[in-house]
Structure 1
C-alpha cells in the first residue's frame, strides 16, 4: 500500500470514528434519533478497515465475532436485534476510547504534567511508593494507559541515575508496581474508566453516582494493600543507597489537582441537572476540557491555527494509530454481547440455574472469575459483557444494583493487576525487561490474592450489611 493510499484510509478511519462518537453522543443525549440507523453501518465499516490492517492476533477476534454471528443467525430467530445490540456496544466503546484519547493527547505535551511526574518519581524511597500511588491515580485519570507509559519512562530515568545495580533493580520494581497499582486502583470508581462505564451499562438500574462512594472504598483497599505489602516486604540491601532530595515541590501537583477538580465537578454537576448517563457526559466533557487545555498550551503561538493542526493530526493520524487497541476493545464488547445470547439458552438446556446459588456467592465469584478469565486471555470487557447478562437481576439477588457494579469493577481491577494479557502488565513488563506473565504472577501474585480476599469481604459487607 502506498503512503498516499494509507493516508486516505487513515483519514476515512478517523472521520468514521468521529462520526461514531457523535452518534453515540446523540444517543446518550436523546437528540437526532433519526440518525441512529447509521451507527451499526459505520461500526461495520470501521471493523472491516481494521481487520485488513491489524496483526493476526487481532484478526482472530474479528473471526470469532463473525463465527458467533453465524451461530446466532442459525440458532435464534430474532438474531438481528442481538447483533444490533452488539454493534451498539462496539460503537459505545469506540466513542468512549476516542473521547478519552483527546485528553491523553493534550496531557502528554503538557510541561506541568511532565514536571509533576518527575517530582513523584524523584521522591525519597520511604515515601516514593505512596507518592506514586496517590499521584499516579491523578495521572491515570488524565492519561489512562498513557499514565503507565509516562511515569514508567520517568521511573526508569530516575533509577538510571543509581550506580548500584542491586539498588537500581529494587527501585525499578517498586516504582513500576506503584505505578501499575495506582492505575488499577482507579478502575473501581473513575468515571473515565472502562471498568465503570461497562459495568454500569450492563447492570440495569445502576449509575456511576451510586457506585462511586463504594468504588472509592475498593480503590482505597487496592492502594492500601499495595502500600502495606511494599512496606512489609521492603528489600534488605547490602549497601546504603543514596537518598537525594527530589527537585521541585508538591506545588507542582496543583495544576493536575485543579484539572481533576474541574473534571469531577463538571461530571457531578451535569449528572445532577440532566438525565444523561455518566458515560454520555464523559464523552462530551473530556473533549471540551482537552480542547480548552490545548488552547492554553498554544496561547502564545497562533492558538487557533495550532489547535486546528493538532485536531487534524489527532483525527487523521493518532486515532487510526489505535487500530490494534480499538479492534480488541470493540470486538470484545461485540463478542461478549453475542456470546451471552448464545450461552444463556445453552445453560438452560444444561439445567444450570444461577438463581439457586446464594447471592453472596454470585457477587464474590465476580471478584475471582474475571481475573481468572484474564489468565487465559479474556479481556475484562469480554468477561463482563459475557457474564453479567447471565446472572439474576439485583432484585432477585436481594441487593441494590450498585452492589453488582462494585463486584464487577473489583474483579476488573484484579484482572488488570494479574492477567499477563492486559495492557497494564504488558507495559510494566516491557519497562522492567521481563515477561508480562512474571509481572502478573510473581510480582503481583501475593498482591492479587490479598486484594481478592479484602475485596470479597468488602463486596459482601456493602451488599448485605451497609
Structure 2
C-alpha cells in the first residue's frame, strides 16, 4: 500500500509538471484548466501524507477559501488563480529537483565541491561563496547539503576544538551566503520566478543585471565582514590540507551552466515564452540527457531506468512535505490577498500616499521580518504584492519593485529559522536554526540590509 501511495505521488508530480509545461507553451485554455484541477487533486492526495505542520497550511487555505466564498461572488476565479500559482510552483520545484538528483550523484560534482572545501584559509571563504553560487545555480538547496557536508568533514580533521568551531561556522556561512546571493538574479530561483510572474511587465532578462548587483553586494559584504572580523586564535594555526586538483575541476559545472543558460536564452529568442516556462521544460531535459550520457559509459540503459525509477518513485515522494508547503504558500497568498485588498479599501487605508522610497525599503525588511514568524517568502510576496500600489502609481519601473522584493527574499533566506537553508546550516553546525539566523547572521543582516536598501533606492532613481 505504501509503494502504491509513493508511486501515485511521484507520477502525480510528474503529470503536474507536464501539464504546466503544456500551459506555459500555449497548449490552450484546456491545459490551464487542467493544471488547476491537477493541483487541487494532488494537494488532496498529499495532505494526509505530510506531517501536521504542513497540514496546517492546507487547513488555512481551506478556511480562507470558505471566507472568500462568503465575501465574494467571484471567489471561484480567485481560487482557480491560486491553484494555477500552486501548480506552477509545484512544477518548478520538481523541475529543479530533477537536475539536483543527477548532480548530487555525479563524481565530478563531488570532486569540485571537495576542491572548494579544502581551499587554504586565505581564499577559502571567497572560494566557497562564489564557487557556492555556481553550485547553487545547479543544485539549488542541494548546494548547501553537498558543500555543507564536505565542509564539516574537512573541519573535523582539525584537532583544536576552538579552531574547528570557528572554521565550521565560517565555511557554512560562506556557503549559505553564496547560495542566498544567487536568489535575486538566477532564473532557477523561486525569488525571480515568483516575482516576475506576479509583477506585470517584468522578465528575467529585465531583472538579471540589477539582481546580479544585489547578489554581488551580498557576497562581497559577507567576505568583507569575515575578513575584518576574522577570529584571532593564539598558538598553532591548525592543520591545513592542500586541495587535490585545480580549478579545472569546476569545468563540468560551468559547462552545465552554459548549456542551461544558453538554452534558455536561445529558446527565449525563438519562442518568446517567459523564462520560467522555459526552465520547467529545459532543466528536466538537461537532467535526462545528462543521465543518458552517463549511462553510455556506466551500464547502458539499465542505469538510466534505475535512476528514473528512483527519482519518480522514491525521491519525488520523499519531498512531498516541501511540495505541499510551497504550493500552499502560493495558494494562501493569492486567496489571502483577495480577502485583504477589499478589507484595506473598506478601512480607508490608502498606501498610494506612502512615500515610494519608504515602501521599497520596507520590502527589504518586511519579508525577513515575516520569516521570523514562519511566513514563507512565497507567501509573504504573493500576499504583499496585490496590496501595494502598482509601479506606475509609485513612479518607478516594475523592475525596481522586483529588485526590492528579491533583495528582501534573499535576506529572509539568511535569517528566517524556518527556511531550508538556515535549517540545514544549523544542522551541519550543530546549533539551532534561530541561532544561525539571529546570532551568526545578525551583523551581516544589519549591514547588508542597509547597503542593499541604498542600492534599491539608487536603482529606482529615488536617492535624490
Fold in common (TM above 0.5)? yes
1:7-22 equivalences under 5 Å are 7-22=3-18
Q: In the alignment, which of 261, 264, 267 is matched to residue 258 of structure 2?
A: 261
Maintained 8 Å contact 1:271/1:277:
yes
User: Residues of 2 paired with 1:42 and 1:258: CA distance?
Assistant: 35
Correspondence for 2:288: 291
2:131 to 132, 135, 138: 135
- Kindly indicate whether the alpha-carbon contact (under 8 Å) linking 1:221 and 1:454 is maintained by their aligned counterparts in 2: yes
The yes-or-no answer on 1:118 pairing with 2:128 is no
Helix, strand or coil at the partner of 1:376:
coil
SS in 1 for 2:431: coil
Counterpart residue number, 1:156: 152
Partner of 1:402: 399
Please tell me whether the aligned partners of residues 110 and 297 of structure 1 are also in contact (alpha carbons under 8 angstroms): no
2:184 matches 1:188: yes
- Note the alpha carbon deviations across 1:27-55, whole angstroms, 9 max, x for none: 11102443332222221221112211111
Cα deviation code 1:363-402 (max 9, x no counterpart):
1111110001001110000000000111111111111111
- Alignment partners' CA distance in 2, 1:463 and 1:25: 34
Deviation at 1:320, TM superposition (A): 1.1
In structure 2, the residue matched to 1:211 is 207
Superposed counterparts of 1:19-418, under 5 Å: 19-239=15-235, 240-418=237-415
Regions of 4+ moved over 6 Å: none
For 1:465 and 1:132, how far apart are their aligned partners in 2? Answer: 34
Structural RMSD (CA)? 1.2
Task: Tell me, in whole angstroms, the C-alpha distance in 2 between the residues paired with 1:42 and 1:151.
Answer: 35
C-alpha distance in 2 between matches for 1:391 and 1:35 = 31
In 2, Cα distance between equivalents of 1:397 and 1:36:
32
Deviations along 1:190-235, whole A, 9 cap, x unmatched?
0000000001011011111000000000000110110010001000
Aligned residues: 462
| Greater displacement, 297-306 / 49-58 | 297-306
Aligned partner of residue 148 in structure 2, secondary structure: helix
- Output the TM-score relative to the length of structure 2: 0.98
Cα distance, 1:465 vs. partner? 6.1
SS at the partner of 1:276?
Answer: coil
**How much has 1:106 moved relative to structure 2?**
0.3
Secondary structure in 1 matching 2:373 = coil
Q: Unaligned 5+ residue runs, structure 1? A: none
Aligned mates of 2:361, 2:394 — CA distance in 1: 13
Residue 302 of structure 1 and its aligned partner are, at CA, apart by 3.8
When normalised by structure 1's length, the TM-score is: 0.97
CA distance in structure 1 between the partners assigned to 2:400 and 2:270 by the alignment = 25
Q: CA deviation at 1:136?
A: 0.2
| CA apart distance, 1:6 | 1.2
Distance in 1 between residues matched to 2:311 and 2:244, nearest whole Å: 33
User: How many Å separate the matches in 2 of 1:32 and 1:397?
Assistant: 34
Q: Say if 1:26 and 1:33, in contact at 8 Å, map to a contact too.
A: no
